[in-house]
Amino acid sequence: MLGGLYSEFLHFRYPKSFMRIRAVLAVLPMLLTLPGCKPTGEGHTMAIIGAVLIDGAGGPPLADSAVIVQDGRIVEAGPRNAANIPPDSDKIDGYGKYLLPALVDAYRTPDPGLQPATPEQAREQVAALAAKKPETIHLWPGKMPRPVAEAVMEAARSAGIPITGHAFTQADARFLVDGGASRLIGMIRDTEDPDDAFVAQLRDLRIVVAPALSAQATSDIARHNTRRLFQAGVPLAVASSGGDLIHEAELLVDAGIPPLDVVVAATRGGGIQPGKPANLLLLSANPGQDIGNLRKKVKLW
């Protein structure tokens, strides 16, 4: 009642101003729905300033960097003095810290894999699994007859499902690669000198190998072959097999892989470049000096 009388008073006392106010109030809801008129908080920008940037792709560390993030993606990464840092961005102080991609575990949760007894069962099990759209199929060729393992790989290729093979012998590793596996978990340990042609095949096909040394830490041959594959240019990854991922990274360093190269392996598939998802790790100490510094997490996005 009083509100209505007050409105009538305004209309009578200030007719033109009142009409303008009513017009603005009527248009305001439409303005809020126009592109670019986002509610507060949406699309806000974050800037991580001053950290030593380790891009995860093998580039040299970059001191005094700036990484700009918006909507969960990196929009800019490079020297701070060349960065376009929005004035209203949330600024994270990275000085004295190290920024790198979040760690990626190539084999985090032990998977029993398919265990068919016949080629027919292999095809049926792959078809059932394909309906769930899995990221990969895990295959242990040493656990089944060759014709059954071949049927699994053939069905996986037909369904467009990547194959992750688990192998500790050169014969099994070669069988998996010839069958279309794109990633290997485990390291050859039945020979200290894998065939040069096979090592070149791994390198040229960019087959990613996660040595999983924690599962075979007493094997000097596995450590030797890990170093051999790295020196040949075979891409490495880090797999915890349900254990401690950083301990696995430490074992790779013990095998002779330089710490910064282990960082590349431990962040494979990530990276700090424009367009990449902003899965980032901020550390208080340099993992390039001591890979154990991966444990010194300040913040994870």
pLDDT tens per residue across span 268-280? 988 999 999 999 9
**Residue at token pair 């696995």:** 248
Q: Please tell me whether residues 165 and 256 are part of one structural domain.
A: yes
pTM reported for the whole predicted model? 0.82
Q: Are residues 265 and 277 in the same domain?
A: no
Number of domains in the chain: 3
Q: Residue 256 gets which letter from DSSP?
A: T
111 within some domain: no
CB-side neighbour CA atoms (13 Å) of 201? 16
Same domain, 62 and 162: no
Domain shared by 146 and 258, yes or no = yes
The pLDDT score that the predictor gives to residue 216 is 72
Q: Answer yes or no: do 152 and 123 share one domain.
A: yes
Q: By CB neighbour count within 10 A (0-12 exposed, 13-18 middle, 19+ buried), where does 57 fall?
A: middle
Position of tokens 């001191």? 63
**Which residue range is the domain that position 251 belongs to?**
119-269
Nearest to 66 by CA among 44, 46, 41, 88: 46
Q: How many residues does the chain have?
A: 301
Return phi, psi of residue 46, to 5°.
-120, 140
Q: Which of 163, 177, 253 is nearest to 211 (CA)?
A: 253
Q: Is residue 38 part of a domain?
A: no
CA–CA separation, 267 and 104 (whole Å):
5
Nearest to 164 by CA among 199, 120, 208: 208
CA distance 172 to 166: 8
| Residue 43 pLDDT | 65
- Do 201 and 155 belong together in one domain? yes
Same domain, 133 and 259: yes
Tens digit of pLDDT for each residue in 174-203? 999 999 999 999 999 999 989 999 999 999
Residue 134: CATH number of its domain = 3.20.20.140
In a domain, 18, yes or no: yes
Spans of the chain, pLDDT less than 70 = 1-43, 217-218
Whether residue 169 is found in the same domain as residue 260: yes
Nearby residues of 279 by Cβ (< 8 Å), 6 or more positions away: 101, 102, 270, 301
Same domain for 135 and 231? yes
Model pLDDT, residue 109: 82
Residues 181 and 54 grouped into a single domain: no
Give the integer Cα–Cα distance in Å for 64 and 85: 14
